[in-house]
């Protein structure tokens, strides 16, 4: 017997980015969703769908849900604090002491409940998440995400050296607990949501070679994705050289242990990469995660996004809460644009010298466009999860419905202008409905 | 007979900045307010006040209300849009066409109602506001502000050249309508709120010398404050030279017409000032208004705030909605800090060369501290209105009460850490009460 197909039609102003080159806008149109996947978008609804159940959102915007490729769940608790420090002192003075609280499952349950609830409220429907070194609380985080039906990769952090004793793991325990998490959640039936473990060494300086090697083996054996940090600050890079003198570069520390593209890999930051590291990232298809607010808040540096993109390196976006101060991914998009404009201002002499007029195409620091930033926070990030982050055929219907205030302005502006306003000036308050895989999700 | 004094006591975690050098924090303390003014702050409530009515806010924060020194009310309608343009094209493509809608009082009433409501909701209790060239809608804005009891200066914009015909004023009409507004609102009884006219030539290129001279005379005759724009972009400065070739500098155009410090003056931006202009601003006590988001969004440039402050120029903060994308003044504070950190990063070679270690004090681009940014958005801005923006004795009790989410975190962090989190990661949602001159205001 053929399985029945659940079909639903949604009507509204539909906007998404099939490519970073621009938006596709379908004003006052119908999107047909079958079994949670997009079947097509129509200005005139075709005959076969005329009796299909329909939700009419009027001139509300329908856009892909946001994808956060780098966020620390425990740091939600400390977001917006200690941001007058730089990375290594911020870790010691704020992050490590707070992460130690997650040894207590009761505390973890309360704190992670707030995090998951808020992430969903802010419109993030897919995320790659760092937990802490604690196995029990990592399990709690996974269960909470599954209950809320958010799709995510969750990493129990591995850290066995160069950190406070109250967080330092015994190498064997670190590996065996990671193994336990994998065994539990790669086999356990997943229900409707998809929440899976991801291999997560915190970063090279706090990882012994022995641990990195074992994690690389686990990643290969279970074909698990990998996430970590790379070249966030110059001080950190110097430290990596001291801690791992046998490797040529920071990226090499991961690469030679099977943790740099051998399985799908995310590396947060990657601000200060050598040319060799950039080539390696491109060849191994390692996705860098740009976290602009975090980079500014901790005075870490500015990722040369334009030049990475032009050279073919893939770059997604992360909130990096808590060094980033908000889970609202449009803020990461706008911050990426703002940072790239400041970089462009810094090279403005180039523009002035070009006395045929200001030709932005000739300027390497050419700022990010709104379409590029939106693409990074939806389809580029979504590609880590499959057909996610766009409304092309067969993409998962992971969508946000956005209403505006004051409503009077809708008659004056195009859907794209209204999307721009939501991204710059809006907030989670404007998100009135959320869909994951075609299911409407309650916040 | 002696007038009865209305006294009320509020209890909570009280934080403010008497100076830019740091916060004053009174945890779990009492603030005594008499006739709308602060009388004192006490950890133990003195005997005479033990029977005074008291509102206990627990561990909520009590902070001064925000002061926005530069905001365009009509542009609230277009905020967050067209921000991939630069100043002059943005004016022509977005701002001018939208401002023309305010010729219609019905439209103006609806749009300005949204603006005033939202500004108050976002915690701004004092503001210096640009309306449009239209007299009737400027009056509507004033009335709406008075009804909501927000304190403000409102300027009917003057613009008689180099702009689209649909906004261009006849010079005589521009002056006589400005005169009418002054006559109406400088004499009309003010009720509880204080909303007054301010002389507001849009900016030098769109003002004839004849008009500027007449406005300077009006300012002197009625001792009215002045607001305008100064040196926002390099293209604009070049234009001013062409339009007003008889003046040495952009600032001179205002100065020689009695519009640069002869009465209390605000100049928005002032990014690209000559040394002479900086000296003039300092000598004439002209307050510059830093609008960091606007400056980045329109790629205008970066104000060298640290060097201005060190040379004794006074600098407040503005949202500059619509080129700035939000009315929430903490965003202006954080953006000012972020921009100053990026400037510090740009000069990082200086830091690296200093091989005695990173000594931030030796770096001219030393980023703004949280206390400095908070001071700029409260007491520095407030000084334009009198004893406003602080909780020292005799200051007007203009206050926000801030609650946090999740409440569980209050037991882990100090009031200052919680204030930092509110400023970075919070929103208007966290503001539970607003007081102006001791009166609780309904949003």
pLDDT digits (tens, 9 = 90+) for A227-284: 999 999 999 999 999 999 999 999 999 999 999 999 999 999 999 999 999 999 999 9
Out of A131-135, B182-186, B313-317, least confident range? B182-186
More confidently predicted of B189 and A337: A337
Q: What's residue B351's pLDDT?
A: 32
Q: Hey, is the C-beta of A80 within 8 angstroms of any chain B C-beta?
A: yes
**Quick check: A191 pLDDT over 60?**
no
More confidently predicted of A377 and B307: A377
Query: Rounded CA gap, B132 and B381, in Å?
Result: 23
Q: Do B341 and A297 count as a contact with CB atoms less than 8 A apart?
A: yes
**Quick check: A361 pLDDT over 60?**
no
Q: Hey, is the C-beta of A7 within 8 angstroms of any chain B C-beta?
A: no
CB B287 within 8 A of CB B265: yes
User: What is the average pLDDT across A419-438?
Assistant: 95
Query: Rounded CA gap, B227 and B126, in Å?
Result: 15
- Chain B positions touching A405 (Cβ under 8 A) are 114
**Quick check: A310 pLDDT over 60?**
yes
Interface-testing mutation among A365, A421, A428, with chain B (most B C-beta atoms within 10 A): A421
- Chain B positions touching A344 (Cβ under 8 A) are 299
Q: Which of B325, B346, B420 sits opposite A424 (nearest CB)?
A: B325
Between chain A and chain B, how many beta carbons pairs sit less than 8 Å apart?
105
Q: Which of B301, B338, B352 sits opposite A296 (nearest CB)?
A: B338
CB B336 within 8 A of CB B290: yes
pLDDT band for A188, please (50, 70, 90 cuts). Answer: low
pLDDT mean across residues, chain A:
91
Q: Do B369 and A293 count as a contact with CB atoms less than 8 A apart?
A: no
Residues 6+ apart with CB under 8 A from A73: A112, A115, A116, A129, A130, A131, A141, A154
| Nearest Cα residue in chain B from A110 | B408
- Chain B positions touching A79 (Cβ under 8 A) are 421, 424-425
User: What is the average pLDDT across A277-297?
Assistant: 97
pLDDT digit string, tens, across residues A128-149: 999 999 999 999 999 999 998 8
Chain B window 113-172: which residues touch A at a Cβ cutoff of 8 Å? 114
| Nearest Cα residue in chain B from A296 | B338
The tokens describing B135, both together, are 């007299």
CB A134 within 8 A of CB A154: no
User: What is the average pLDDT across A158-180?
Assistant: 97
- Which residues sit opposite B197 in a β-bridge? B154
More confidently predicted of B319 and A299: B319
Report the alpha-carbon angle A103-A104-A110, nearest 5.
120
User: What is the average pLDDT across A387-408?
Assistant: 91
More confidently predicted of B299 and B29: B29
Q: Which of B110, B409, B423 sits opposite A77 (nearest CB)?
A: B409
pLDDT digit string, tens, across residues A29-82: 999 999 999 999 999 999 999 999 999 999 999 999 999 999 999 999 999 998
Q: What's residue A350's pLDDT?
A: 33
pTM to 2 decimals? 0.93
Q: Hey, is the C-beta of A109 within 8 angstroms of any chain B C-beta?
A: no
Query: Rounded CA gap, A249 and A194, in Å?
Result: 35
Q: What's residue A355's pLDDT?
A: 31
Query: Rounded CA gap, B217 and B350, in Å?
Result: 48
Length of chain A: 443
Count helices and strands (H / E) in chain B: 16, 17
CB A329 within 8 A of CB A123: yes
Question: Which has the closest alpha carbon to A306: A267, A266, A346, A276?
Answer: A346
Q: Which of B77, B111, B420 sits opposite A81 (nearest CB)?
A: B420
Q: How many other C-beta atoms can be found within 10 angstroms of the C-beta atom of residue B106?
A: 9
User: What is the average pLDDT across B25-53?
Assistant: 96
CB B438 within 8 A of CB B149: no
- DSSP-based three-state secondary structure for B172: helix
pLDDT band for B354, please (50, 70, 90 cuts). Answer: very low
- Chain A positions touching B332 (Cβ under 8 A) are none
Report the alpha-carbon angle A208-A212-A218, nearest 5.
145
pLDDT mean across residues, chain B:
91
Q: Do A427 and B425 count as a contact with CB atoms less than 8 A apart?
A: no
pLDDT band for A2, please (50, 70, 90 cuts). Answer: low
Cα dist from B353 to A328, B357, B358, whole Å: 38, 9, 9
Query: Rounded CA gap, B268 and B68, in Å?
Result: 11
What is the percent of chain A where pLDDT is above 90? 83
In whole angstroms, what separates CA A63 from the centre of its chain?
A: 17
User: Alpha helices of A67-223 — where are they, by DSSP H?
Assistant: 87-90, 96-100, 105-121, 135-148, 171-187, 209-222
Out of B77-86, B181-190, B253-262, least confident range? B181-190
Cα dist from A395 to A39, A165, B234, whole Å: 8, 46, 46
Q: What's residue A338's pLDDT?
A: 94
Q: What's residue A186's pLDDT?
A: 80
- DSSP-based three-state secondary structure for A407: helix
In whole angstroms, what separates CA A350 from the centre of its chain?
A: 33
């Amino acid at each position: 017997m053929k399985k029945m197909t659940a079909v639903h039609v949604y009507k509204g102003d539909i906007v998404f980015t099939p490519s970073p080159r621009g938006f596709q806008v379908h004003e006052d149109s119908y999107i047909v969703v079958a079994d949670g996947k997009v079947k097509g978008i129509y200005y005139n609804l075709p005959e076969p769908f005329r009796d299909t159940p329909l939700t009419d959102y009027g001139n509300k915007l329908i856009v892909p849900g946001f994808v956060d490729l780098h966020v620390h769940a425990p740091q939600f608790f400390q977001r917006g604090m200690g941001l007058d420090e730089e990375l290594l002192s911020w870790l010691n003075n704020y992050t490590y002491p707070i992460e130690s609280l997650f040894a207590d499952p009761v505390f973890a349950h309360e704190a992670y409940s707030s995090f998951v609830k808020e992430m969903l409220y802010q419109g993030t429907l897919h995320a790659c998440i760092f937990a802490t070194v604690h196995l029990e609380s990592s399990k709690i985080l996974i269960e909470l995400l599954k209950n809320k039906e958010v799709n995510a990769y969750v990493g129990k952090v591995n850290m066995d050296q160069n950190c406070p004793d109250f967080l330092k793991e015994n190498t064997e325990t670190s590996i065996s607990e990671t193994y336990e998490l994998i065994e539990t959640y790669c086999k356990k039936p997943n229900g409707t949501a998809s929440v899976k473990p991801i291999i997560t060494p915190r970063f090279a300086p706090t990882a012994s070679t022995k641990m990195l090697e074992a994690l690389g083996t686990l990643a290969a054996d279970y074909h698990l994705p990998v996430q970590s940090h790379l070249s966030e600050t110059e001080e950190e890079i110097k430290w990596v050289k001291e801690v791992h003198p046998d490797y040529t570069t920071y990226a090499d520390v991961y690469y030679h242990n099977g943790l740099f593209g051998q399985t799908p890999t995310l590396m947060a930051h990657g601000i200060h990469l050598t040319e060799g590291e950039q080539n390696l990232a491109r060849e191994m298809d390692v996705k860098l995660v740009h976290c602009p607010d975090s980079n500014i808040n901790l005075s870490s540096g500015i990722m040369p996004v334009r030049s990475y993109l032009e050279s073919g390196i893939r770059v997604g976006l992360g909130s990096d809460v808590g060094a980033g101060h908000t889970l609202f991914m449009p803020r990461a998009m706008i911050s990426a644009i703002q940072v790239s404009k400041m970089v462009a201002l810094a090279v403005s002499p180039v523009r002035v010298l070009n006395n045929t007029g200001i030709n932005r195409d000739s300027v390497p620091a050419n700022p990010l466009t709104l379409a590029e930033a939106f693409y990074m926070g939806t389809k580029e990030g979504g590609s880590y999860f499959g057909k996610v982050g766009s409304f092309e055929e067969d993409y998962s219907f992971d969508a946000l419905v956005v209403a505006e205030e004051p409503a009077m302005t809708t008659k004056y502006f195009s859907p794209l202008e209204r999307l721009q306003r939501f991204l710059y000036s809006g907030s989670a308050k404007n998100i009135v409905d959320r869909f994951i895989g075609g299911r409407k999700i309650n916040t």
